[in-house]
Chains A and B, each alone.
Chain A
Amino acid sequence: MFTIAHRSLTEGFRDFLDRYPTPVQPIAFNHKIHVANGMKCTACHSGVTQGPEAGIPSVAFCMACHQVIAAKRPEIEKLAAYSAKGQDVPWRPVNWFYPSAHVRFWHAPHINAGVDCSACHGDMSQQTVAVRKKDLTMQTCLSCHREKEASVDCTTCHE
């Protein structure tokens, strides 16, 4: 925890205790409404079946619908304001690992092997702003890998 992998001592402590602070998002994005309206996870997180990162769409993608839909809501007005300024929304990551863990997580193999998004992220149809629902520790990963007879080699996940 005293390595230069941490930007501060506090961060080192948090890493040591496996604490991940809950980020404050610039816009209170409501997952529940989007899922309830029939949108699939992959509609926005399109990278999830193809590569390591799920990805977050740009403000232009959001505005494709929100030019019209719910345009008067305060949170959507915040979105439109970013778009008008030519800026992207500075979303803060929710599920991530401290660099000292040297974890190299790839979404695509998990999704393509039929693991449901909720296995790690919880039931998004019940969440508004995304929070870290599951304790994504090495124990969590390993128990699932063992259960599904996936590789438990160190280098499968760590680089």
Chain B
Amino acid sequence: MKRRTFLTLSAVSAAGALFDVSRKHGPPGSEMIRFIPETQLVPGIAVSRPSICEQCPAGCGLDVRVMEGDAEVQRNGQPGLIKMGLAKKLEGNPAHPVNRGKLCARGQAGLQVTYNPDRIRQPLKRVGPRGSGQFAGIGWEEALGELLSHLQPLTSPSDSSSVVFLTRPMRGQRPVLIERFLSGFGASSLVSFELFDDSVLREANRLSFGRYQLPTIDFAHSNYAISFGADFLGTWNSPVAQSLGYGAMRQGRSGVRGKFVQVEPRMSQTGANSDEWIPARPGTEGELALGVAHVLLNEHLRTAESGGNAGRLIEGWNDGLRDYRPEAVAWKTGVPPETITRLAHEMAAHAPAVAVVGGAPLAQTNGLFSALAVNALNALLGSVGKPGGLQFTPQLPATRAVAPSKPGRDALSIQRLAQQILTGQSGPVEALLVYEANPVFATPPGWQVRDALERIPFIASFGPFIDETSALADLILPDHSYLESWIDDMPESGTIEATISLAPPVMQPLHDTRAMPDVLLDVAHRLAGPAHRPPPWKTYEEMLRSAYGPLRHLPGSVTAATDDEFWSKVKEQGGWWSASGASEGKGSEAAGSFHPVKDQEPEFDGAAKEFPFLFLPFASQQFFDGRNANLPWMQEMPDVLSTAMWGTWVEMNGQTAQRLGIKQGDLVEIASRHGAVRAPAVLSPGIAPDVIAMPIGQGHEEYGRYASGRGANPLKVLAPRTEAGTGSLAWAATRVRITRSGPGELILFSGEPAGLSQERVSR
């Protein structure tokens, strides 16, 4: 702002204050309609209530501070004020076995989901053309009538046109309810989509260890950890639990400080914490793991038998991995042979040692190979199922029956769904229900998800916000925020206790919204018909109680004499957990017949000559996969390494930039065969010279006032490549070129990432 503008504005506001015609006097907040209070709390006294964090798939337990306050709400289409118990602060639940009282920045910002000014306050019906974002508010009865009129004709068992439910991979009772709901239609499918769904690693763990599950790494008791691309302190898997363990590994034991080595081409927050950072060539992480394994076998530091099933999956394992001599591996990975040998010696000498794989290595076309290779290394190190090694969260026998179906395996993927719609294969999709998934934002343009969805005659969304996907909806039935809902989860990793997280709403809903599970139950009851048997529960609370009530008979964190006592204690504690399930360590899922895997080279889309750089989008600490971009606290949180905020940036090596004539803050264009995006450059020494990195999460076209039109979406340049073994998106397998396109604007918080001293760089 210029000085003159500032002075003018000051004068105008001072004059306004002097005349003071519009304001009444007295304490604030008395001009709006007041609705009848909905809770009885002692004014001014805070109480603590448990809930569950939904900001990422980790499933941490929350401890919510609730206090009476005035909230701006909507009731029967009318805005007003209400005195009610309001969530004021989110902390970690101290009793919860995953996060043990801690919470990350994304979790803390979860309050802004509930109080977001862009939340949808009542059901909406589309009035303009599809995608125009023109909606009109309607009542719930009208909205449900509209939904029923589209779903009722599809309940006939002979109908081949189908209902598709699109959601993110979920655990707990919500997927059970959705599947049950879908079973009432003639044809239906559940499509789950999440950009970072880690299904490659789950599949690898199934093959290696018989567990279709993400691992829990026991850093706390480990003496040596090597991570292949996993940003486990920032975004990968269960970051809070892993950060706790990591802290204990480095500083929690007197006289012992575990060593930590990070292998990745772009230094992440986790990499910045490491003792040694090894920028191996992208896609060769598996190769490097097997190079280390070769040394361990060849020098008889470990025996081939100790690799077990995980070892047998690697071709040449019993012959001592002859193809993976350090010299050969060095040539492919760019890591010197002496480093490989040294790593092997260090790991052998500092047991228990553990290897972790996650993030970009799994998002290459050879991701499954890399994951299997790291699993084999872990098995060889003897760290599987041991303290200080790789463990699995026990899954309760009592709840296994209701555990979610395996997303990503045998299921219809969003990519195949889009293809089927566009090519007209199989039956037509008549209706699509969307819940907590935004594939229009998070898929490569080559999958044509938007085009496909636009062809579906009826789309209903349960989203609490209008995003790129729900903007295409004909009907929006807004969900409560998670603080306003009955919520349950079964953490897949992050603890070695069998865990059920469960919590009642911590506050009354602010607006005319309804919880998705309750709407599904309501609709299921109304869809009368021979094929559609009504569910035995009236509300989701009843369903949760019938599912989790039997846990009373298992030894766990809650002991109660009666069912009612059990239920009230579970609600008070925010779940149920049991260390006794931990003995059930062995996997039960048969790996089946699987041919040993050979060394697989990563494939990249685009010719190296035309597109000389490897493109590495990465999960951002603030926005994860983009779902948190509408939270202003996350927008204003500086990136840990570059300190960039309120935008996207392109991270590149300083020497590369110098060669191309690019300076810090210059606007650059990243182009692949499939699209181009522009963002300002951040020069960094912590990135390989042939890699260009961009954080994921910004560049929303439609996601409220804080996210819309801000930054760029790197996913829009991605090639539609998939991982060869599992079919999940290979988001790190695209080649790009980079050109300077003019002056840019970069907002940095502070610090000097590359010899920079200004706070705001304009060129």
Contacts and interface: CB of A to CB of B under 8 A. Distances in A.
B254 interface: no
A8 B82 contact: no
Do most interface residues of chain B lie in helix, strand or loop, or is the interface mixed? Answer: loop
Residue among A7, A88, A96 with max Cβ neighbours from chain B (10 Å): A88
Interface stretch (B21-29, B153-161, B585-593): B21-29
Residue among B37, B80, B83 with max Cβ neighbours from chain A (10 Å): B37
Contacts of A53: 43-44
B322 to A, nearest CB: 72
B17 interface: yes
Residue among B25, B30, B33 with max Cβ neighbours from chain A (10 Å): B25
B569 interface: no
Nearest to B44: A52
Nearest to A23: B26
- Give the size category of B's interface with A: 20 to 34
Contacts, number: 70
Given A9-B17, A86-B75, A93 B43 contact: no
A100 interface: no
Given A8-B20, A47-B43, A47-B44, A21 B25 contact: yes
A51 B35 contact: no
Nearest to A83: B36
A86 B35 contact: yes
B36 A58 contact: yes
A88 B23 contact: no
B34 A90 contact: yes
A10 B43 contact: no
A88 B30 CA distance: 12
Given A8-B20, A14-B25, A93-B26, A87 B34 contact: yes
A59 B36 contact: yes
Interface string A1-21: 000000111110010000001
Contacts of B45: 50-52
A14 B82 CA distance: 29
B27 A8 contact: no
Interface in B73-118: 75-76, 80, 82-83
Given A52-B43, A88-B37, A9 B20 contact: yes
A90 B30 contact: yes
A52 B80 CA distance: 25
Interface in A43-82: 47, 50-55, 58-60
A44 to B, nearest CB: 13
A7 B23 contact: yes
B18 interface: yes
Contacts of B28: 7
A55 B26 contact: no
B27 A93 contact: yes
B401 interface: no
Residue among B14, B27, B80 with max Cβ neighbours from chain A (10 Å): B27
B42 interface: yes
A107 to B, nearest CB: 9
A86 B27 CA distance: 24
Nearest to A90: B34
Nearest to A89: B34
Interface in A137-153: none
B36 A60 contact: yes
A158 interface: no
Interface in A81-105: 83, 86-90, 92-93, 96
B43 A51 contact: yes
A100 B339 CA distance: 64
Contact of A86 (B14, B26, B36): B36
Contacts of B43: 47, 51-55
Contact of B44 (A8, A51, A90): A51
Contacts of A59: 36
A51 B25 contact: no
Interface in B406-436: none
Nearest to A49: B42
A87 B33 contact: yes
Interface in B26-70: 26-28, 30, 33-37, 42-45
Contacts of A9: 14, 17-18, 20
Contact of B34 (A11, A88, A93): A88
B45 to A, nearest CB: 4
Residue among A53, A87, A89 with max Cβ neighbours from chain B (10 Å): A87
A87 B18 CA distance: 34
B23 A8 contact: yes
Contacts of A88: 34-37, 82-83
10 contacts: A9-B20, A14-B25, A21-B25, A51-B42, A51-B44, A52-B45, A86-B76, A87-B34, A87-B35, A96-B26
Given A87-B35, A96-B27, 13 more contacts: A9-B18, A9-B20, A10-B20, A10-B25, A53-B43, A58-B83, A83-B36, A86-B75, A87-B80, A88-B35, A88-B36, A89-B34, A92-B30
Interface of B: 14, 17-18, 20, 23, 25-28, 30, 33-37, 42-45, 75-76, 80, 82-83
The 5 A-B residue pairs whose C-beta atoms are closest, nearest first, are A52-B44, A53-B43, A8-B20, A88-B34, A51-B45
